[in-house]
Amino acid sequence: MCRNLLPLSLVGLRVFMVGIKGSGMTALAELFKHMGALPQGSDTHETFYTDAILTELGIPICEGFDKANLPAQCDLVVYSAAYDPATHPELLAATERGLPMLTYPEALGELSRRVPSVGVSGVHGKTTTTAMAGELIRMGKLPGNVLVGSASLGFGGRQVYTGGDRFLVAETCEYRRHFLSFTPTVLVLTGVEADHLDYYHDYEDIRNAFVEYTERITEGGSLIYCADNAGACEVAAAVASLRPDVKRIPYGHSAEGGFRIYEISYEEGKQVFRLEGVAEPFELPVPGRHNQLNAAAAFAAVDELSRAVGLRALSAETATSALAAFRGTKRRAELRGEYQGVLFMDDYGHHPTAIAGTLEGLRDFYPGRRLVVDFMSHTFSRTEALLQDFAHCFAAADLVILHRIYASAREQYDGSVDGHTLFRAVSAQHSAVQYFEEPLDAVPYLRSTLQPGDLFVTLGAGDNWRIIDTLLDLPEFSR
């Protein structure tokens, strides 16, 4: 990894970003611009929600990849780790010109070494936890920057909050050990389970990657971990012996100390809980026990960061007000609206644990509604490895609709599992399951099935979210 490629001041730094429309890259471009750099970049012709953000920021985009896109005046190239420098035309041109190059994780890692930083990690909950921390920081007017992996409604639909340059809070990804470029003062660990099995060999492999990440915590830093997750507890136990200088701070329903969650209650569209060390109760307008955990992690992270940087602690009133106003992030229990009595929601959940937690939370949040779930599984490797977990994770749903598996460009299909395999596994455990090969094939069925009082949720990392767009264009669900 290249180090110290960023000058002390980024003012006037000309940065070309390959794959700039990716969610992380767009967020990094905005952060660069806030710090005085001059970002521009390239990507495919396909339109993403990030196009609007980049246009609003005035960041130029070259549509399509070509070596001619690389500007004559360029100080640094940052590229998505999805692209290979040995074959990508723009990266080949940058190499020929001897330009400094960093992957997105490396560039983010460079920024993390400049100021005290919080790295939010874990198989589930990274995006929401980071966004909640951002809301606490925004409402508390704390002087730092926050980078979220998806659009945050509290940030005006953007992924970055810029409140000053005293610290950085960022979502950090475990895929291909990308987070090992980041240097956290405070590391949040929401949970460790088997995932990304196209890269990691097994659970032990991914757990060991998280242990390796904790070794990057700065001297005397902190690990904030979920006491309700066995994998996170295993990593915390390893830290106790490997890094005795690191403070271990548990949170969760089974945690000891100031971040224990207790006295949970539910109302229509709201859940209420308390934290051991906070006088005021927390109200959350987003569903699920997992979001109680995310909120506790976010509060603990901001509290610990404030101590590390020498800032005043958030008041209980500010913290509870910020989380009560939390509106969520794009594709994380994103409420698309209620039309003709049907509530429409979209969620990115694609791991069985996340799916089960989301559906159970929706059942608590909307007890009087029929829960209709459309799920599109992502990657053959995950579907095969976690097939039995997928079979059991839809228990809270009244009706489940499944499709073909949404393939990843990073894996090859070997014929061992497909959408029908998943359908058979789920049908063995659930009495109401339907299968349509393509997501939009389900639209006629849904037109005749959905009724007032239903909650219809599209789940997964595929493109079945298009079903909601299609339904809302129909006269019976006209907006």
Task: Work out the pLDDT band at 479, boundaries 50, 70, 90.
Answer: low
**Residue in this structure with the two tokens 């909307």, named with its chain if needed:** 366
Measuring CA to CA, which residue among 115, 146, 116 is closest to residue 131? 146
pLDDT at residue 48 is higher than 90:
no
**Residue in this structure with the two tokens 């409420």, named with its chain if needed:** 335
pLDDT digits (tens, 9 = 90+) for 350-409: 889 889 988 998 998 888 899 999 999 988 888 998 999 999 999 999 999 999 998 876
| pLDDT value at residue 1 | 42
CA–CA separation, 77 vs 99, rounded Å? Answer: 7
CA–CA separation, 203 vs 351, rounded Å? Answer: 14
Cβ-in-10-Å burial (0-12, 13-18, 19+) of 191 comes to buried
pLDDT at residue 139 is higher than 60:
yes
| pLDDT value at residue 83 | 92
CA–CA separation, 205 vs 361, rounded Å? Answer: 30
pLDDT-above-70 percentage for the chain: 98
Q: Which two tokens stand for residue 359?
A: 């559906």
Sign of CA dihedral 206, 209, 214, 218: negative
Higher pLDDT, 154 or 16: 16
Sequence-ordered list of residues with C-beta below 8 angstroms from that of 412, at least 6 positions apart, any chain: none
Residue pair 148/127 in contact by the 8 Å Cβ criterion: yes
Sequence-ordered list of residues with C-beta below 8 angstroms from that of 361, at least 6 positions apart, any chain: 271, 287, 288, 289, 290, 291, 333
Element (H, E) at 131: helix 126-139
CA–CA separation, 107 vs 244, rounded Å? Answer: 29
Residue pair 177/168 in contact by the 8 Å Cβ criterion: no
Instruction: Output the average pLDDT for the chain.
Output: 92
pLDDT digits (tens, 9 = 90+) for 182-203: 999 999 999 998 777 777 889 9
Angle at CA 185, nearest 5°, toward 184 and 186? 85
Task: Work out the pLDDT band at 478, boundaries 50, 70, 90.
Answer: confident
pLDDT at residue 284 is higher than 90:
yes
- Other beta carbons within 10 angstroms of residue 316's beta carbon come to 16
- Other beta carbons within 10 angstroms of residue 59's beta carbon come to 19
CA–CA separation, 420 vs 433, rounded Å? Answer: 12
CA–CA separation, 83 vs 97, rounded Å? Answer: 18
Instruction: Please report, as a single letter, which amino acid is at residue 416.
Output: S
Angle at CA 343, nearest 5°, toward 340 and 347? 150
Positions of E strands within 112-228: 117-121, 145-152, 158-162, 168-171, 186-189, 222-226
pLDDT at residue 292 is higher than 70:
yes
pLDDT at residue 50 is higher than 80:
yes
- Sheet of 282-284, strands arranged across: 261-267, 270-275, 282-284
pLDDT digits (tens, 9 = 90+) for 326-349: 987 767 778 888 889 999 999 887
Number of H helices, E strands in the chain: 15, 21
CA–CA separation, 391 vs 409, rounded Å? Answer: 25
Residue pair 43/26 in contact by the 8 Å Cβ criterion: no
Q: Are strands 270-275 and 261-267 parallel, antiparallel or unpaired?
A: antiparallel
Instruction: Please report, as a single letter, which amino acid is at residue 419.
Output: G
pLDDT digits (tens, 9 = 90+) for 2-28: 456 788 899 999 999 999 999 899 999
Looking at the DSSP assignment, which residues form a beta bridge with residue 161? 146
pLDDT at residue 267 is higher than 90:
no
3-state secondary structure of 476: helix
Ranges 71-75, 93-97, 285-289, 417-421: which has the least confidence: 285-289
| pLDDT value at residue 195 | 78
Positions of E strands within 143-221: 145-152, 158-162, 168-171, 186-189
**Residue in this structure with the two tokens 């050990």, named with its chain if needed:** 177
Residue pair 172/119 in contact by the 8 Å Cβ criterion: yes
Higher pLDDT, 267 or 284: 284
Average confidence (pLDDT) over 28-39: 96
Positions of E strands within 340-423: 342-347, 370-375, 399-402
pLDDT at residue 457 is higher than 60:
yes
CA–CA separation, 37 vs 28, rounded Å? Answer: 11
| pLDDT value at residue 409 | 62
- Other beta carbons within 10 angstroms of residue 82's beta carbon come to 14
CA–CA separation, 51 vs 7, rounded Å? Answer: 28
Residue pair 442/372 in contact by the 8 Å Cβ criterion: no
| pLDDT value at residue 2 | 46
In order of start, what are the domains of the chain with their CATH numbers? 14-104 (3.40.50.720), 113-324 (3.40.1190.10), 334-477 (3.90.190.20)
| pLDDT value at residue 113 | 95
Residue pair 53/30 in contact by the 8 Å Cβ criterion: yes
Q: Which two tokens stand for residue 109?
A: 């890692």
Ranges 112-126, 221-235, 347-361, 418-432: which has the least confidence: 347-361
